Amino acid sequence: MDERASIGQRRTPAPSWGDAKTRMRECLRIDFAKNPTLSQRITLAVWRLGQATYGQRHPVARLCRMLQQVANAVWFRGIMGAEIPTSIPAGPGLWLPHSVRGVIMHHSVVIGSNCTIYHHTTLGLVGDTGNGPTIEDDCYIGAGAQLLGPITVARGTKIGANAVLTKSTEPGGTYVGVPARLIER
């Protein structure tokens, strides 16, 4: 697997077009195993294509990028009401139970492998500057949760529905409430 989605690392220079296509196919194979519905698969295919073509200079990649941007505008913004930049590195195994409806993510977010993100969540900033959250592997983010600022959501963390998280978490912890607090390890 390409290391650009490693936790704690922001986007690095684009891999070769061949490597990007291979990573996209591998991620989609794993993603599709967890996301059986057509809307989930369309969401992931459009997003993973955007990730693969991000920063590419190959002529075929550029054409695919233009098509992806149209699909992104129609599918993500128009139909799903979501904003998820394709510059966000994300590991394989992403589960989107409600196809990212209403999900908003800042371009500085990093998502690990095997994460679950429910609808109407926000992964963003506190104020106008800085970075968004880093989500480590095997995390669960409930519907309506807001994760704000340059925080790290540690491996295996569960964030409850409508929680507002502004501080980094402990591995394997469960956080709920406004503001979010640890209720279980």
What are the pLDDT digits (tens) for 35-55? 999 999 999 999 999 999 999
What are the pLDDT digits (tens) for 129-175? 889 999 999 999 999 999 999 999 999 999 999 999 999 999 999 99
Which pLDDT score, from 0 to 100, does residue 11 have?
56
DSSP E strand stretches across 28-173: 104-105, 110-111, 116-117, 122-124, 134-135, 140-141, 146-148, 152-153, 158-159, 164-165
Give CA 104 to chain center in angstroms: 10
Residue 152 bridge partners (DSSP): 134
- The structural domains of the chain, ordered by start, are 14-81 (no CATH), 103-185 (2.160.10.10)
Q: Give mean pLDDT, residues 69-77.
A: 94
**How far is it, in rounded angstroms, from Cα 136 to Cα 110?**
8
Which comes out higher in pLDDT, residue 105 or 1?
Answer: 105
Tell me if 132 sits within 8 A of 11, measured CB to CB.
no
Q: For the whole model, what pTM was predicted?
A: 0.88
